[in-house]
């Protein structure tokens, strides 16, 4: 393995468009980005990218790495994520999440899978708990999970969904308090990651929590585009300073996630308050009017790339990259992720003119070359 790389003639989107640059990577870090770089480092490999696009590796904050599903019994449990799927999707950083079924998919298994994928080369974190309130944790306590599990960024619950525990506003405030105080004890912010269903009851509860003194930065709703009223509430939430997360793997009432993003901007949502995530390996069940499941699909992490390509045609690549790079890194305080600059982790996605992945580097290690996965997971053939 080379000690580093000197990329020449890269069309750099950091995510802002910097134009044609050279990029020097040594070990796991970006050392320099400049018009021309002369470097003498033993074992350095020089690569002429001939104008190929280079962006930060994509970040996905909502992947069911141990598999979601289970709404139709054990036969409907979605499969686990394989490492090569991250590579193919251009994802270098992820946050693992649990869903409806925490009985056969315990949080301890989520923690182990996150650590396994990180060992294989990605950068991984997790949300503790799932749909339930009180939260399902590893240690039995939210604050202790935050303190003892370095990968834990916060807690997940569900609201406004027939599968959730229907927590009251006071109960939401209580778990938000655990996130806030637990983060204080750990020395970093932590967040309440909230799965939203179609019932428009969550955002009024969130704003009541804010009125009672809870900083809005701790509240992180996802799946905001699945219902018209919920999405309208989500847009107003961004204007109050909150972040919202749009799912790329379908379920957005107005079309796809690129349509939702544009609609949010047109209605006054700040561009730096909107993120994307795939819901990868989560199930997408369909229920009839009686609440019976009538169909099931599995979400794909690769949908992030599809939406990026669509959104780039609508608003340009520089802005289209934001919800999968800088904005989400800023939102989660992932200081070494989301941008291309000296001192940051060398997570680089190289794409062709059609915004299709050609090469991928995770912390300076090449895992895709010439559009082929060259590093696979432990048990992948």
Give catalytic status of residue 279 as yes or no: yes
Query: Which residues, 6 or more positions from 103, have their beta carbon under 8 angstroms from its beta carbon?
Result: none
Enter the tokens of residue 349.
């996605």
Q: Which of 22, 279, 303, 347 is catalytic?
A: 279
Strand-by-strand arrangement of the 91-96 sheet: 58-63, 91-96, 123-129, 152-159, 191-196, 219-222, 244-247, 274-277
The region that residue 167 occupies, defined by phi over 0 for left and psi between -120 and 50 for alpha, beta otherwise, is beta
Distance, C-alpha 344 to centroid of its chain: 18
Which residues are known binding-site members for substrate? Answer: 69-71, 100, 131, 163, 226, 283
Do the beta carbons of residue 128 and residue 142 sit within 8 Å? yes
Q: Hey, which residues are catalytic here? A: 279
């Amino acid at each position: 393995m080379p000690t580093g790389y000197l990329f020449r003639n890269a069309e750099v989107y950091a995510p802002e468009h910097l134009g044609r640059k050279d990029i020097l990577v040594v070990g796991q870090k970006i050392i320099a980005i400049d018009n021309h770089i002369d470097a003498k480092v033993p074992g350095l490999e020089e690569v002429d990218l001939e104008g190929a696009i280079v962006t930060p590796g994509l970040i996905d904050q909502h992947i069911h790495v141990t598999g979601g599903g289970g709404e139709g019994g054990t036969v409907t449990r979605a499969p686990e994520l394989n490492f090569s799927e991250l590579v193919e999707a251009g994802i270098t950083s992820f946050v693992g999440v649990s869903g409806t079924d925490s009985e056969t998919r315990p949080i301890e298994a989520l923690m182990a899978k996150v650590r396994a994928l990180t060992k294989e080369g990605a950068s991984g974190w997790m949300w503790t708990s799932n749909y339930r309130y009180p939260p399902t944790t590893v240690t039995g306590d939210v604050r202790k999970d935050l303190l003892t599990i370095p990968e834990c960024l916060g807690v997940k619950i569900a609201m406004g969904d027939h599968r959730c525990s229907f927590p009251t506003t006071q109960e939401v405030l209580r778990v938000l308090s655990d996130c806030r105080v637990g983060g204080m004890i750990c020395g970093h912010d932590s967040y309440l990651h909230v799965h939203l269903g179609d019932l428009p009851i969550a955002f009024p509860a969130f704003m009541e929590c804010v009125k009672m003194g809870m900083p809005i930065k701790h509240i992180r709703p996802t799946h905001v585009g699945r219902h018209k009223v919920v999405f309208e509430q989500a847009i107003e939430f961004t204007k109050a300073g909150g972040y919202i997360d749009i799912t790329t793997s379908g379920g957005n009432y107005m079309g796809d996630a690129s349509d939702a993003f544009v609609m949010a901007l047109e209605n006054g949502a700040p561009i730096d308050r909107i993120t994307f995530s795939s819901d990868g390996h989560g199930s997408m069940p369909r229920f009839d009017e009686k609440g019976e499941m009538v169909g099931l699909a599995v979400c794909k992490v690769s949908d992030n790339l599809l939406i990026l390509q669509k959104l780039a045609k609508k608003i340009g690549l520089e802005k289209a990259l934001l919800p999968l790079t800088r904005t989400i890194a800023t939102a989660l305080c992932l200081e070494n992720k989301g941008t291309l600059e000296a001192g940051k982790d060398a997570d680089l996605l190289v794409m062709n003119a059609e915004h299709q992945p050609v090469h991928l580097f995770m912390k300076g290690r090449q895992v895709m070359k010439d559009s082929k996965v060259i590093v696979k997971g432990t048990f992948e053939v």
